[in-house]
Chain A
Amino acid sequence: MPEDLSPDYTEGPEPLVVALARTGDRDAFAELVRRRERWLRLLLWRCCSDRALADDLAQQAFLQAWEKLRQLRDPARFGPWLKRLAINGWLARLRSSDALAAPVEAFDELTDAPAMGRPSTTTLALDLDAALTTLAPAARTCVVLAYHEGLTHDEIAAMTTLPLGTVKSHVRRGTQRLKQLLNAYEDPSVHSQEAVR
């Protein structure tokens, strides 16, 4: 197709691009990948603390999304639907290693506290990610879904199929642990500006 006749998806609203991708338009789907890759990879990286694994999980989620796109009834719900595919992929990985079913108490003091430098906006993201690595996989997943995605306990329980009480316990303990490690950021002036990666 001549360049001047090829469709430009970069300006279109996401539901429209999703609708086009559902017809088998690969360029439209590539645009969806462009729009969502950074957000999805960051979410998965926060859950699994492993960049290579997060990238692999994100790729698998996109591939599943392509195969199941016709099952998505509302194109406007593409983001939450993709997130569910990605988190399910991560949870399947956890289940295969029994990490999801381990009792909450088994993960107390799982790892040593990472070295934290002087808090600043430039180190905030790094310190937050380092603190998250000290949580066990199941707890980290619950904490990330609660704080990064703003899900309620019930929503997290539904997504992870963990008992509600376990989710609440993970979020509570994870919160305590993170606050312990990040207490230097309680000074509002440190994190009031945008963090720079």
Chain B
Amino acid sequence: MSDEYDRDPLLMQLFHAASDAPAAEVDEPFVERVMARLERRQRRAWALRLVVGVALAIIAIPLQDPLELLADYLLSPLIDAQSGFGRVFFSPMSSVGAVLSVVLLGVQWLLRRRER
């Protein structure tokens, strides 16, 4: 007669008996193979990071001028505040980059509200 999960008592006994062999020694060569594979995988990951980093650095050279132009544009002032107080007061909205940051924060906040 099987149990509620259709398991036969005889087979359960046989599986248990077959698996209940005396504890064998650890297969150290197997453990070493696993650790060696682990090391190789980590070395490959580091090599890939290095290659990607070098590739990005090489790609960035011709992009340097456009990126500098973009940075100058983002930092260009919107409000021409002469006084120190004016400059500080308007600083959150005083450049294109600052306005963009505020807009992105607002969009992020709206999206989170919608998720809730």
Contact = CB atoms under 8 A, between A and B. Distances in A.
B75 interface: no
B23 to A, nearest CB: 8
Q: How many of chain A's residues touch chain B, expressed as a range?
A: 35 or more
Interface of A: 26, 29-30, 33-34, 37-38, 41-42, 55, 58-59, 62-63, 66, 121, 124-125, 128-129, 146-148, 152-153, 168, 171-172, 175, 178-179, 182, 185-186, 191-197
B35 A178 contact: no
Nearest to B31: A33
Given A179-B10, A185-B14, 4 more contacts: A34-B31, A58-B30, A63-B41, A196-B21
A191 B30 contact: no
21 contacts: A30-B31, A33-B31, A33-B34, A37-B34, A38-B27, A59-B30, A66-B38, A124-B14, A128-B18, A129-B18, A146-B5, A146-B7, A147-B7, A147-B11, A148-B15, A171-B7, A175-B2, A182-B10, A182-B14, A185-B14, A194-B21
A29 B32 CA distance: 12
B64 interface: no
A87 to B, nearest CB: 16
Contacts of A42: 19
A195 B21 contact: yes
Contacts of B13: 191
Contacts of B14: 124, 128, 182, 185, 191
B69 interface: no
Top 5 closest pairs, chain A to chain B, by CB: A125-B18, A147-B15, A34-B26, A128-B18, A197-B21
Interface residues of B, number: 29
Nearest to A154: B5
A196 B34 contact: no
Interface string B68-101: 0000000000000000000000000000000000
B18 A195 contact: yes
B34 A124 contact: no
B6 A147 contact: no
B115 interface: no
